Amino acid sequence: MTERPHRPRRPASLDPAQADRIAGGADPALRLRAAHATAQAVLRRGHESDVDVETVDRLVRLVETEGLEVVASLWADSDAASLPGALWRLYVLREWIRRTPVEVTARYALGAQRAEVDDAVAGVPAPPTPQEVAALADAVLAGAVTADLDVALDRAAAFYRVVGTGTALDADLHDAPHGPEAAHATRSAANLVRTGEELRDAARRARAGTLE
């Protein structure tokens, strides 16, 4: 991506539901072509035989270096069952963890008590720490851009489902069965689980060679 003279201000906080609402203003057809071209370019760069650690680190930190809105303007509107849509969900996961590591870790720890299979697939040490959860996000993205995209997508899908389960349990523990807080927690949990299912489908497509 090229250097820009002005970068839009990044939001103060982020969760996957907020990221889905970021809108772009370019022509839809042009944005679609740009989304697929840039997503393929990221994977091509990561899979080059001479790729080094520094380059992989830059690819993992794409949102940090380019800005959330810049990446969102390319990928956020892409279909979940596409390569740019799947990569967008991985970058959103990393950014969410980076900005609210304690909250995400607490929700993950709760969810892991119920979603044991997904916890095993995600591969987070037990009990998780914010540092370990952040390291997982980096490892998933590094794996996605350099090695086995389907494995990375499966791990991210499992992580989303565990955190979604933990979000629902957190609402129960705080006795919020009714009212605005309960409705927000329910929507958030459902969105996280849905994103996990979308990534699991993307992983299947990646294994079949049909994720484009």
Say if residues 179 and 6 touch (Cβ distance below 8 Å). Answer: no
pLDDT of the residue at 175: 57
Question: Which residues have CB under 8 Å from 180's CB, separation 6+?
Answer: none
Examine residue 118 and state whether it is found in any structural domain, yes or no: yes
pLDDT of the residue at 179: 63
Examine residue 17 and state whether it is found in any structural domain, yes or no: no
Q: Using CA atoms, how far apart are residues 143 and 133, in angstroms rounded to an integer?
A: 15
The domain of 59 spans 26-208
Examine residue 155 and state whether it is found in any structural domain, yes or no: yes
pLDDT of the residue at 6: 34
Does 130 sit behind a cis peptide bond, omega within 30 degrees of 0 on the bond before it?
A: no
Examine residue 164 and state whether it is found in any structural domain, yes or no: yes
pTM value is: 0.83
| Positive/negative CA dihedral, 130, 115, 121, 75 | negative
Q: Using CA atoms, how far apart are residues 152 and 158, in angstroms rounded to an integer?
A: 10
Q: How far is CA 27 from CA 8, 12, 67, 159, in A?
A: 19, 28, 21, 34
Examine residue 19 and state whether it is found in any structural domain, yes or no: no
Examine residue 57 and state whether it is found in any structural domain, yes or no: yes
Q: Using CA atoms, how far apart are residues 93 and 65, in angstroms rounded to an integer?
A: 16
Buried b (16+ CB within 10 A) or exposed e, 52-70: eeeebeebbebbeebbbbb
Domain count, the chain: 1
Say if residues 150 and 55 touch (Cβ distance below 8 Å). Answer: no
Segments of the chain scoring below 50 in pLDDT: 1-14, 22-23
Helix axes 179-208, 149-173, angle to 10 degrees: 170
Examine residue 13 and state whether it is found in any structural domain, yes or no: no
pLDDT of the residue at 5: 36
Q: Using CA atoms, how far apart are residues 207 and 110, in angstroms rounded to an integer?
A: 31
Examine residue 151 and state whether it is found in any structural domain, yes or no: yes
Say if residues 111 and 166 touch (Cβ distance below 8 Å). Answer: yes
pLDDT of the residue at 16: 62
pLDDT of the residue at 12: 34
